[in-house]
Homo-oligomer: A and B are copies of this chain.
């Protein structure tokens, strides 16, 4: 179904750069499961390494936002961009991080309301209030 071959574990074993990333995904997530996104990216080891490193830095390393909050933000962007794969994978990830059905319901409500007012503000071309401006 994809535009590229999805790498099997056997193929990854034979390619050191791919294997290193798959191993780190497994170690970081404490799970043997490597999802299809990484198996597709494996066709370009440089991208595989760069994207995983960025995702790990942003989503896994401790910071100012709770991991679940970051995952819900990821779901919101994925829905707004209409990404089928990402809506599925990050909703599953948010649930794995503890998202309750009540939280998911509110997340969806905010996504829907924001999409509605985004479209209205774009249709109306509402001028930005001076009170909202920060940079010059």
Majority DSSP secondary structure for residues of A touching B: helix
How many copies of this chain sit in the oligomeric assembly? 6
In A54-85, the 8 Å CB interface with B consists of 54-55, 57-59, 63-65, 69-70, 72-85
Q: Which residues of B contact A40 (CB under 8 A)?
A: 121, 124, 126, 135
Quick one: given A73-B107, A100-B64, A106-B65, are A125 and B84 in contact (CB under 8 Å)?
Answer: yes
Contact B3 A89, beta carbon cutoff 8 Å:
no
Q: How large is the interface on A (under 10, 10 to 19, 20 to 34, 35 or more residues)?
A: 35 or more
Give, as a whole number of angstroms, the nearest-CB distance from A88 to chain B: 4
Quick one: given A69-B69, A120-B108, are A126 and B43 in contact (CB under 8 Å)?
Answer: no
B interface footprint on A106-136 (CB within 8 Å = 1, 0 otherwise): 1111111111111111111111110111111
Contact A5 B135, beta carbon cutoff 8 Å:
yes
Q: Which residues of B contact A115 (CB under 8 A)?
A: 77, 81, 115-116, 118-119
Q: Report how far A86 CA is from B134 CA in the complex, Å.
A: 14
- The residue that A33 contacts in the complex, of B50, B75, B107, B131, with Cβ under 8 A, is B131
Q: Report how far A70 CA is from B114 CA in the complex, Å.
A: 10
Known: A80-B119, A85-B121. 9 other contacts (CB 8 A): A40-B121, A41-B120, A46-B105, A55-B113, A64-B105, A73-B107, A77-B110, A79-B122, A83-B121
